[in-house]
Amino acid sequence: MYYKNVIARPFPDPESLVEEVSRIIDHTNLRPEASEKELEKTCREAVDYGFYACCVPGFFVEKAVKIVDGAAKVVTVAGFPHGNSPRAVKVAEVKAAFEKGADEVDVVVNISLVKSGLLEEAVSEVQEILDVANESGGVLKVILETGYLTAEEVYRLGRELARIGVHFLKTSTGFGPRGATPEDILVMRRAVEGTRTKLKAAGGIRTGLQALFFYLLGVERIGTSSSLQIVNDLRALKELLH
């Protein structure tokens, strides 16, 4: 049911291989022990390497905005990493992030509600958060944390979130039981079919070949803290393809 037409994009021209993948990367540093100096470095790397965005903790958003100065987007997270903060707290967190200048917020769905069969309640919470994002002119990505969900739960949740118009579905936080898998993306692709909702693969993507494969699967964004390794791998692959 979920696994038709695996490859969604043609293989990029070797000359543009590195750029094609780099431009969809959210260069991420959400380590709890990351210093401000390290977070600043992440932001500068996003600009220097042509990544789509830097993804940093909420407290650092204002500084990140100044550092990238429009040369990259600023992404942050909310309800992270477990998704079980009270609804009002998550709404306030997302609102504050946009007010501080974030372009996008990645919020974790309430996984407990989903696993309890309370899908409607989980989606209702996201709808309230989505309203905040739309009013702010920002982008909302909803993290499903697929490692905790069955394929059927991923499909049903993804379908309902796409129905209300979330901008992105995202696989994982990077702090859950596992990261993104190709199977996750195929299920999510089927769930968003016929809608404008896009996909972000994140969690455990550490090599150029992994990133390239997710690119070929059709994701519009890749979240990773291994962006520089990915670029180096892709540069080496580019040389091999000549």
| Catalytic machinery residues | 106, 170, 200
User: SS3 for the chain, per residue?
Assistant: CCCCCCCCCCCCCHHHHHHHHHCCEEEECCCCCCCHHHHHHHHHHHHHCCCCEEECCHHHHHHHHHHHCCCCEEEEEECCCCCCCCHHHHHHHHHHHHHCCCCEEEEECCHHHHHCCCHHHHHHHHHHHHHHHHHHCCEEEEECCHHHCCHHHHHHHHHHHHHHCCCEEECCCCCCCCCCCHHHHHHHHHHHCCCCCEEEEECCCCCHHHHHHHHHCCCCEEEECCHHHHHHHHHHHHHHHC
